[in-house]
Chain A
């Protein structure tokens, strides 16, 4: 498809006195992996949720697949977009397999097709076979988030929205899951928009980093370019930390 798959045009969202997102304009190309990077209160989560209609903007327009999202029911839009967030929200009364099967059955797939898709996804997110019959409460945090990713992918969306997806995991699990997801992104040809407050995560996973503060774009560039330097002192400061940490770690390993 020619042109961006997601477009925000002058999107503004206010909560009372607070302007969470301030006239934000952003175009996301198909197949890209974009990180929305910012601290708490930067408006990154609100901006993400305007894309699948969980947040309705006060002003501006959001277009997905070239169409304004107000043209169809919110639920219909959301069935075409995968959504993963930190708390995961697995349904505790359903088994892992039933959780993953929700999307396909909402989309009207028959039972054999859903079952086949569930088996395929368990393999794709590297979960052992027996997990499907268990309840979410019986899984580890990392396994649960893998189920969360599998559930979001089940109905074959072209777009994945992720809100701090690996934020609650330990560093090792977090790194493994991040790399696995990045591979899936390539393999399935997805368009991914990921919200994170973690500079390292943004640098290591995304092709493009959009730095947000007070609901506005501070910087918008590929990771390497941002690391090389930026006019805005706040962005400069943000990139300084990983750079220095990387240098210290390198010095340590060379000294040893």
Chain B
């Protein structure tokens, strides 16, 4: 039996693998180029050694996902500076932040082994080299580096395995990698994808480790053939992995469509990209972006379009906590985002995806909870399950302020697992999304918000400043405005999120388009 998900995974492999290899090989080469000279300097001077090793060790203590995420705002600020100074910015999303973070991450093992290898050379051999009249440079290249080479290669091996593993975490900052299988698989509960991504990344790491190991043992035993075989294997393997990228690079993607990290976003991004492709344009997806990363990437024109929600923008971008009503929020957003950031709000898709607190119907009925006011009474005995960002968003602050909610315990989950936690009883209340198909499927009730603490969340299409007057993009997206009602969206989301007979986001997008008659 061949699983269609497996076929889908294989079809994506050339691009994901090529991007993954490109990223990790570049990071490793850059890491080597920085760490080796640094190791030489550190081996000769204690004043360089301890600060260099300390910084490299500190970098290692930063969780790799956080390190990748931190480079985005840093590069964004640098890009803004460069734009102001030289009239030219650069892409702060995707390849560059991933490259820099992984480079830093690769440095410690190379640096540490480099220093150990170079300072571990027998002092008698160093004295002989000096006594014969070698200059410092000749001693380094003819004696110390050849003798330290096996130890240095062992460090490079460790660095390669770490870098290839950590490169899967580049997906959330917009760099395609084997991590795309893992992140989207985790979100849509496509375990075939998750396993495929893990397996591919592990196989890649193992292959690199074996080839580098061949070089290492060749250096240690002075067996030239092993060194040559390992090096040829690495070069051929890298080129073979990169070849598909060269082929696709011939037809560069024109439009970049962003998506945050949940099913509805994947489906809508696929829908938009399908519309562009139908119009003869090329489109590329950048998925799994964090909420605020998505908006700032759009503002910087690094992505051309994505779907966001009016309430999210209202609270998080405009920092408003009042609630003047659905239409007023939309109007003010449209005017202010344009004036502030040059971002175009093309219009609402026609449905709302409200942040809403939801409970199991059975428990809500048993406790007679219908609204957030009722919930506040029982909250101290209940456990709240939230998605990864809700508890740090201003919406939560205003709900908490308006109703005085205090739970016994608050846990955070990936959206998929949050629903699981609720149905399994690990959570009593969750921060649900009203367009989510699982509300009906899991028999949940959405609690009323009589004090209007939560703003309206119309799904709106945003367009970057660069594409503000792009007739082709606007022409492709205009027909979507006002067309998607909440029932259609919920149904599409459920086909991706349910346990059996799952559809991929791309299939769900095609089905949705057909249903809308587009």
Chain A contact residues, CB within 8 Å of chain B: 52, 54, 73-80, 83, 85, 87-93, 102-103, 106, 135, 151-152
Contacts and interface: CB of A to CB of B under 8 A. Distances in A.
Contacts of B130: 54, 74-75, 78
B133 A106 contact: yes
A91 B131 contact: no
Interface residues of B, number: 19
A106 B127 CA distance: 16
B185 interface: no
Contact of A93 (B127, B134, B138, B222): B222
B146 interface: yes
Contact of B132 (A79, A88, A92, A93): A79
Nearest to B147: A93
B308 to A, nearest CB: 61
Contacts of B126: 89
B247 interface: no
A87 B124 contact: yes
B127 A54 contact: yes
B128 interface: yes
B135 interface: yes
A88 B124 contact: yes
28 contacts: A54-B130, A54-B131, A73-B135, A75-B133, A75-B135, A77-B133, A78-B130, A79-B132, A83-B132, A85-B127, A87-B122, A87-B124, A88-B124, A88-B128, A89-B122, A89-B124, A89-B128, A89-B129, A89-B131, A90-B125, A91-B129, A91-B142, A92-B125, A92-B147, A102-B134, A106-B134, A135-B222, A152-B132
Nearest to A135: B222
A54 B129 CA distance: 11
Contact of A102 (B122, B132, B135): B132
Interface string B111-139: 00000000000101111111111110010
Contact of B133 (A76, A90, A91): A76
Contacts of A91: 125, 128-129, 142-143
A106 B124 contact: no
B131 A52 contact: yes
A85 B133 contact: no
Contact of B146 (A90, A93, A102): A93
A83 B124 contact: no
Nearest to B137: A75
A80 B132 CA distance: 9
Tell which of B126, B132, B142, B143 has the most Cβ of chain A within 10 Å.
Answer: B132
A232 B73 CA distance: 80
Given A78-B132, A83-B132, 9 more contacts: A54-B127, A54-B131, A83-B131, A89-B122, A89-B129, A102-B132, A102-B134, A151-B132, A152-B132
Contacts of A83: 128, 131-132
Nearest to B146: A93
Nearest to B128: A89
Contacts of B134: 75, 102, 106
A102 B131 CA distance: 12
Contacts of B125: 89-92
A83 B130 CA distance: 10
Which 4 pairs across A and B sit closest by C-beta, in order of nearness?
Answer: A89-B128, A79-B133, A87-B124, A83-B131
B128 A103 contact: no
B147 A103 contact: no
A77 B132 CA distance: 9
A78 B130 CA distance: 8
A76 B125 CA distance: 19
A92 B149 CA distance: 13
Nearest to B139: A75
B131 A85 contact: yes
A106 B128 contact: no
A54 B130 CA distance: 8
Contacts of B122: 87, 89
Contacts of A151: 132
A74 B132 CA distance: 10
Interface string B133-177: 111001000110011000000000000000000000000000000
Interface in B82-131: 122, 124-131
A75 B131 CA distance: 8
B133 A78 contact: yes
A104 to B, nearest CB: 11
A89 to B, nearest CB: 3
Interface string B263-297: 00000000000000000000000000000000000
Contacts of B142: 91, 102
Contacts of A74: 130
A27 B131 CA distance: 22
A152 B126 CA distance: 15
B150 to A, nearest CB: 10
Contacts of A106: 132-134, 138
Nearest to B222: A93
Nearest to A161: B131
Contacts of A75: 130, 133-135
A159 B136 CA distance: 23
Contacts of A80: 133
Contacts of B143: 91, 93
A90 to B, nearest CB: 7
Contact of B127 (A73, A89, A152): A89
Contacts of A135: 222
Contacts of B222: 93, 135
B232 to A, nearest CB: 22
Contacts of A102: 132, 134, 142
A77 B126 CA distance: 17
A75 B135 CA distance: 6
Contacts of B138: 106
